[in-house]
Each structure stands twice: as C-alpha cells, then as structure tokens.
C-alpha cells in the first residue's frame, strides 16, 4: 500500500510561526493562537507499506532530498532551535529567493561524529548535538535545489530505505519517546527483524495541535 498525503490542521506559514515561538516572544504566540486552524494537505515522502505487526509498520521509502542543520541542544529544544533556520531556507533565504513548499515530517536524530552521505533525514542526539531535517518537495534534488545562504543549512539526498515505524500521539517527552522506542525494538526482536543505526524521531504537527491529535513516529532503519 502506497501512502497518500496526510492532513494537518496548520498551514505552512502557521507551522513556521509556531515552531519559532520561542524566538518571537509570547505576544506573537498569543496572536498566532487566535488564527483559525485550517486543514491543509502536507506532502510526505513516498513510501509503500510492506506489512504491519503489533502496532509496527514496515515501510519502503523512495529516495528523497532534505535540508538539514546540526544544532547543539537537547532533544526537547533541538526542533525549536533548528526550525527557524530551516524554515528561513525554504521560505526564500537562498540564492534566487525561491520559496519551497512545507512538507512533513520534520525529523531529528542523534548526530554522529561524522555524518555519512546516507544518514537518515531527521533529528538525532549525541555529544555533537542533533541533526534536524526538512524533507524537500518531490522532484527536488541537490542539483536543482536553491543554494542556501545560511552556511549552517546542508542539502542531502537520502537513498531508498526500509524502516520500521511506531506511531503515537502526545506531546514530546523523553519518557513517552523511550516507552515507544522500547515497544518498537521489542516488537522487532520478537519478529526476528534486525535494525541498524540510531532511531529517528519524526513529528508531523505544529505545537498548537491537541496532544491527542498529534502524529509522532519513531523510525528504525532495517538491516536488509
């Protein structure tokens, strides 16, 4: 089964404004809370669902391109620090001032000491901080994407990959994340499915989305 675009209650501009709330101040946040929540289809990378097992989905993702930034922050703050940098790039802070559509998910994963060219597109945490990534619209490649003006923004092509995914709702918390990561890992062990690399945390909704409607996912790349 191939995925179809998901629906989120926030427009791209609203998503940018809310993710940047800490930098913009409480007054801006209050004004934005009053904006209407309008449904809007957000593009995702193309994937095919291979099978499901006990709340876990195995997916094959086609290749896609990301813009990413490395931030020195903990898991709770990495997204809010990285989002204004990446949003600036897709909203025109690039050579040619091209605007790119907002997509989902925004991912984060632990930053390795050395980033390989095939690193997943996400936000990750280690001693080096977190890598936070935006998926760029379909048809965008490193060759045809606008060149970032901010040297912190890097472009990367992600090759086709197979991942195991667990989906859950709720606000970010380390305990919620660890609980679902443990479920994902134990489910894969029970099915005798091996994985490789660090987990990827993927978020699909803006901060004003109610906790029970939020779509969070943890991805583990399968060793195939």
Give the per-residue pLDDT at 1: 63
Q: How far is CA 10 from CA 16, 154, 217, in A?
A: 10, 26, 18
pLDDT bin (cut points 50, 70, 90) of residue 93 is very high
Lowest mean pLDDT among 1-10, 35-44, 167-176: 1-10
Which residues, including other chains, have CB under 8 Å from residue 149's CB and lie 6 or more apart?
Answer: 89, 93, 94, 95
Beta bridge partners of 94: 148
Mean pLDDT of 191-203: 95
Give the per-residue pLDDT at 185: 98
What is the model's pTM? Answer: 0.76
Task: Report percent pLDDT > 70 for the chain.
Answer: 74
**pLDDT (tens digit per residue) in 47-63:** 999 999 999 999 999 99
pLDDT bin (cut points 50, 70, 90) of residue 41 is low
Mean pLDDT (the chain) is: 80
Lowest mean pLDDT among 10-24, 30-44, 133-147, 202-216: 10-24
Mean pLDDT of 138-155: 97
Rounded distance between C-alpha atoms, residue 66 and residue 108, angstroms: 12
pLDDT bin (cut points 50, 70, 90) of residue 112 is low
Rounded distance between C-alpha atoms, residue 200 and residue 88, angstroms: 23
Give the per-residue pLDDT at 76: 85
- The answer on pLDDT for 110 being more than 70 is yes
- Whether the CB-CB separation of 155 and 115 falls below 8 Å is answered with no
- Domain 64-158 is classified in which CATH homologous superfamily? Regulatory factor, effector binding domain (3.20.80.10)
Q: Where do the DSSP E strands lie in the chain? A: 6-8, 40-42, 47-53, 56-61, 64-71, 106-110, 123-124, 130-135, 154-158, 161-168, 195-203, 216-222
* Nearest residue to 78 (alpha-carbon basis) of 172, 218, 180: 172
């Amino acid at each position: 089964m191939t995925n179809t675009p998901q629906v989120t209650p926030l427009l791209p501009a609203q998503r940018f404004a809310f993710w940047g709330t800490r930098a913009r101040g409480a007054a801006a946040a209050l004004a934005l809370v009053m904006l209407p929540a309008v449904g809007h289809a957000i593009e995702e990378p193309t994937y095919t669902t291979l099978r499901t097992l006990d709340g876990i989905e195995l997916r094959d993702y086609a290749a896609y391109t990301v813009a990413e930034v490395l931030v020195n922050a903990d898991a709770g703050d990495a997204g809010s620090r990285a989002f204004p940098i990446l949003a600036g790039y897709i909203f025109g802070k690039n050579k040619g001032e091209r605007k790119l559509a907002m997509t989902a998910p925004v991912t984060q994963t632990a930053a390795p000491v050395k980033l390989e060219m095939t690193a997943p597109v996400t936000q990750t945490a280690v001693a080096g901080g977190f890598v936070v990534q935006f998926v760029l619209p379909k048809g965008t490649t490193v060759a045809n994407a606008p060149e970032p003006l901010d040297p912190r923004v890097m472009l990367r092509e992600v090759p086709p990959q197979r991942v195991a995914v667990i989906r859950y709702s709720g606000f970010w918390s380390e305990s919620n994340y660890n609980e679902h990561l443990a479920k994902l890992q134990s489910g894969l062990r029970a099915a005798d499915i091996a994985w490789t690399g660090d987990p990827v945390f993927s978020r699909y909704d803006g901060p004003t989305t109610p906790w029970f409607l939020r779509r969070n996912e943890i991805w583990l790349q399968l060793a195939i």
